[in-house]
């Protein structure tokens, strides 16, 4: 699709993908981390695009080609930073483990983890 071609082209332009002497795609770095402290309009647009791709995958990909899960939690607001840190630790650990595995990567996957409130904030002032 045109969207997939654009994503792949962007990865090549960013230097994250290269083509080796045999014509195969190779990731340039075993792992790449981006740290943003604020949510920019560009980043929000990227997330929306990934959510749309996730929706398409849920509708179109075979069950064995994707992994979707969701969990609802009761969490204290004071634990929000703890949960964010745990998500970051998990994400970095998984990336490091995958990068250390032998063999070339054949596919590009997206993994997204969202953590946001489903209810409204309670008004504690009376």
Cβ proximity of 110 and 65 under 8 Å: no
**Residue 30 or residue 66, greater confidence:** 66
Q: Taking residues 27-40, what's their average pLDDT?
A: 60
The better pLDDT of the pair 77, 20 is held by 77
**Going by C-beta distance under 8 Å and a sequence separation of 6 or more, which residues neighbour residue 20?**
26
What's the pTM value of the predicted model, to 2 decimals? 0.62
Considering the chain, what percentage of its residues have pLDDT values greater than 70? 83
106-113's contacts with Cβ under 8 Å and 24+ in sequence apart are: 108/7, 108/8, 108/11, 110/50, 110/53, 110/54, 112/47, 112/50, 112/51, 112/54, 113/87
Domain boundaries, the chain: 39-70
């Amino acid at each position: 699709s045109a969207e997939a071609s654009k994503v792949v082209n962007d990865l090549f332009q960013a230097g994250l993908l290269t083509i080796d002497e045999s014509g195969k795609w190779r990731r340039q770095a075993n792992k790449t981390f981006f740290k943003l402290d604020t949510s920019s309009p560009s980043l929000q647009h990227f997330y929306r695009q990934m959510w749309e791709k996730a929706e398409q995958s849920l509708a179109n990909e075979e069950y064995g080609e994707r992994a979707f899960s969701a969990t609802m939690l009761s969490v204290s607001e004071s634990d929000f930073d703890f949960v964010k840190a745990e998500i970051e630790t998990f994400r970095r650990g998984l990336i490091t483990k995958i990068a250390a595995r032998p063999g070339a990567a054949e596919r590009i996957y997206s993994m997204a983890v969202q953590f946001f409130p489903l209810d409204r904030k309670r008004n504690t002032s009376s």
